[in-house]
């Protein structure tokens, strides 16, 4: 293993600000958090499409997709969930440095993990979006059949059933998918981005 004292940060001549100026918009993480089935992935997909059509440079990171590659070695124990979010936080930071509006859809059940990612970023670069839907509603939707498996004891440590979800205390946005349509939700997020001069 290489000693940390032998690792030196190498600065480039093209900065995040240069990239943002070229793109004509700021870069930030739009961090979608909520229970499985709350609508995080669906919302992030539709928002990215709308932003793309507006000329905003984006990249989307989705929980299931990431576990097919970068995090394929991780399970769902608490320490694995912590490492999952740590890696995503570091990747997201690189995306923001690249000048991209980065959309991440992860249950990310632990407040400390979300706060860790926030701590990596400069002020205003972490936009926490709590995608709210009750356990009952998510279980009723159950798009992947995971709640049914959890209730049958085929999945252990399932968030909302036998593993906790710590709701955000002061998220930048709350999207209640039990009462808001996808289109209304997308427009609310875009309004936030415009009002706070991200675009």
What is the rounded CA–CA span in Å between residue 49 and residue 185? 13
**Distance from chain centroid for Cα 71:** 15
Of 27, 108, 163, 185, catalytic: 108
Beta strands in the chain (DSSP E): 28-33, 58-62, 101-105, 126-132, 173-176
How many CA atoms within 13 Å lie on the side-chain side of 114?
27
Does 37 show up as a binding residue in the annotation? Answer: yes
Does 70 show up as a binding residue in the annotation? Answer: no
From 105, 96, 28, select the one nearest 65 (Cα to Cα): 105
Is residue 171 helix, strand or coil? coil
Which residues does 50 contact at the CB level (< 8 Å), separation at least 6? 186, 190
Q: Do 185 and 103 touch, CB atoms closer than 8 A?
A: no
Does 35 show up as a binding residue in the annotation? Answer: yes
108 is catalytic: yes
Does 119 show up as a binding residue in the annotation? Answer: no
What is the rounded CA–CA span in Å between residue 193 and residue 195? 6
What is the rounded CA–CA span in Å between residue 90 and residue 112? 15
Residue numbers annotated as active site: 108
- Binding-site annotation, residues: 34-41
Residue ranges of the binding site for ATP: 34-41
């Amino acid at each position: 293993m290489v000693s940390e004292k032998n690792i030196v940060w190498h600065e480039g001549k093209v900065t995040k600000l240069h990239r943002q100026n070229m793109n004509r918009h700021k870069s930030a993480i739009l961090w979608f958090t909520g229970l499985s089935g709350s609508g995080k992935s669906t919302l992030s997909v539709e928002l990215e499409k709308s932003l793309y059509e507006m000329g905003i440079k984006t990249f989307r990171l989705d929980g299931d997709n990431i576990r097919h590659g970068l995090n394929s070695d991780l399970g769902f124990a608490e320490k694995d969930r912590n490492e999952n979010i740590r890696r995503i936080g570091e990747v997201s930071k690189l995306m923001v440095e690249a000048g991209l509006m980065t959309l991440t859809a992860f249950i990310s059940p632990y407040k400390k993990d979300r706060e860790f990612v926030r701590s990596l970023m400069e002020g205003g670069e972490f936009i926490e979006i709590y995608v709210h839907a009750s356990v009952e509603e998510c279980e009723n939707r159950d798009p992947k059949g995971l709640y049914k498996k959890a209730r049958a004891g085929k999945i252990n440590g399932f968030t909302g059933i036998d593993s906790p979800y710590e709701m955000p205390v002061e998220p930048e946005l709350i999207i209640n998918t039990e009462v808001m349509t996808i289109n209304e939700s997308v427009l609310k997020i875009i309004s936030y981005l415009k009002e706070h001069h991200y675009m």
